Amino acid sequence: MEMPQKFIIEGGRKLNGTIKVGGSKNAALPILCAALLCHETVKLTNVPQISDIRSLVTIFEALGVQIKFEGTTLEINASNLNLSEVPEDLICSMRASMLLFGPLLSRFDEVTLPFPGGCVLGKRSIFSHTHALQSLGAQVVETSDRIQMKMIKRQSAIIIMPELSVTATENAIMLAALTPGLSQIRLAAAEPHVQDLCHFLNQMGAKISGIGNHFLQIEGVEKLHGTEYAITGDYLEAGTYAIAGLLTQGELRIEGIPTNQLDSLWQKFAEMGASLKLEDNAITVSASSNLVATTIRTAVYPSFPTDLQAPFSVLLTQAEGESQVFETLFEGRLNYLFELEKMGANIQMLNPHQATIKGKTQLHGVPIASIDIRAGAAMVLAALCAEGTTEISNIKYIDRGYERLEEKLTSLGASMRRL
């Protein structure tokens, strides 16, 4: 049995230097799944070395997919893909495994899978997924513990999404890519990782237009071919490091993403009084000792990302005045604030979606826990600027989304080790 691991962090050290972010987790997962649509070899580079990717690779291998994974390069050949041994335990433990819906239904016409699991962020309906699949000709039946999908008649469709769901949009894109006729996805999610999936599919021979907008058009093709593709940089990792630089009063240059993907974050930095130098593919942040309070409201891209709400809220504890946090997308996403209160943060929970943070307050190192991927990153950031030693448990969540986090932060001057 694998022993649980912890991070031990000595706070109060400035982070300085240059760092290049890894490949995007949220782009790599759907792109790996999209590779199952092709019978030829697909070579992916800049693949992040995180536990979610390793879990998905293990699922693929159980389904007969040939995998070669060395460093950040991953080769996939799904010509022998089969459903004879579905690894239910792995699928149940991984929310992102729902990205298999579209590709497997496209390949096999009839698929039964257990319900995916993953981070605990409140109840997350799969209605948007089933709506998209049904629009393209599938019959979907949900039971208490699994989902049964059967393709009745492949048909192009105008799909009006019931919400701007990233993974449901991605499933619709993957299934429509090989569905005859012209399909439209209206109210499509437009995040950078959705765009990256579209660019990847087009490089394999798909015909997708409107990329980056909430209205996609997909002309179905007969087949897709192998290709080599570099995963886009992780803009959420970049944002996390930028916040770390401000929290520790250091100066960081972060490379590896188109910086316009984070305009909503840079605007908040400027509003708070931080110094930043923007380039096309890099940003340099320098802290001000007099950051001022602000208000953030999460929303779909290109508005402020929910995945940076927790890390940014740590920054608000170090800003003068009263800040407001509004989480509009997920239930339970503010639960990490109770961990920050243990460290000395002055926080008032107004309701499950709103909180007030009063600063500036000195945080103190105490034992705390990570409760999901982004909250885990927030705990690390809080520990970096806290006085004394912080012990963070449940770091399995952090490992799911951040590649070699302690190695990268240590290279910038942090005192951090894995226990």
* 199 in the same domain as 316: no
pLDDT at 1: 57
Is the domain of 184 the same as that of 263?
no
Domain span holding position 63: 25-230
Residues 318 and 277 in one domain: yes
Give domain status of residue 58, yes or no.
Answer: yes
User: Pick from 230, 257, 281: which residue ends a domain?
Assistant: 230
Please provide residue 166's backbone torsions phi and psi, each rounded to the nearest 5 degrees: -65, -55
How are beta strands 110-114 and 146-151 bridged, if at all? Answer: antiparallel
- The structural domain count of the chain equals 2
303 and 214 belong to one structural domain: no
Site of tokens 């019959």: 139
Round to whole Å and give the CA distance between 194 and 215: 12
Written as one letter, the residue type at 152 is I
What is the strand order of the sheet 215-219 is part of? 158-160, 182-186, 215-219, 207-209
Report the chain's terminal Cα–Cα distance, integer Å: 16
Two structure tokens written together for 190: 């437009």
- The SS3 call for residue 385 is helix
Question: Could you give the residue numbers annotated as active site?
Answer: 119
CA distance 205 to 326: 41
User: Is residue 1 in a domain?
Assistant: no
Check if the beta carbon of residue 159 is closer than 8 Å to that of residue 172.
yes
Q: What pTM was estimated for this model as a whole?
A: 0.94
pLDDT at 120: 42
pLDDT for the residue numbered 303: 96
314: CATH: 3.65.10.10
Q: Are residues 388 and 277 in the same domain?
A: yes
Q: What is the distance between the alpha carbons of residues 270 and 267, in angstroms, rounded to a whole number?
A: 5
Mark whether 187 and 274 lie in a shared domain: no
Asked which of 172, 197, 230 is the last residue of a domain, the reply is 230
Asked if residue 396 has a cis previous peptide bond (ω within 30° of 0), the answer is no
Q: Please indicate, yes or no, if residue 2 is contained in any of the structural domains.
A: no
Strand duo 251-255 + 16-20: pairing = parallel
Give the model's pLDDT for residue 116. Answer: 79
Residue with tokens 């393709």: 151
In order along the chain (419 residues), what is the average pLDDT of each group of 10 residues? 86 96 97 98 97 95 97 97 92 90 96 72 70 96 89 96 96 98 98 98 98 98 98 97 96 96 97 95 90 96 96 98 95 94 97 96 97 95 98 94 95 96
Q: Flag whether 63 is in a domain.
A: yes
Same domain, 63 and 186: yes
Q: Are residues 291 and 322 in the same domain?
A: yes
Residues 51 and 144 reside in one and the same domain: yes
Q: Tell whether 313 is covered by a domain.
A: yes
pLDDT of the residue at 318 = 97
Asked if 300 and 195 sit in the same domain, the reply is: no
- 227 residue type, one letter: T
Q: Put residue 344 in one of left, alpha, beta given phi > 0 → left and psi -120 to 50 → alpha.
A: left
Residue 19, helix vs strand vs coil: strand
Q: Are 238 and 226 contained in the same domain?
A: no
Residues 250 and 398 in one domain: yes
- Nearest-angstrom CA–CA distance, 364 and 207: 54
- Does 364 reside within a domain? yes
Last residue of a domain, one of 230, 256, 276: 230
Q: Do 132 and 187 form a contact (C-beta atoms < 8 A)?
A: no
Could you tell me the two tokens for 390? Answer: 């912080």
What pLDDT shows up at residue 219? 98
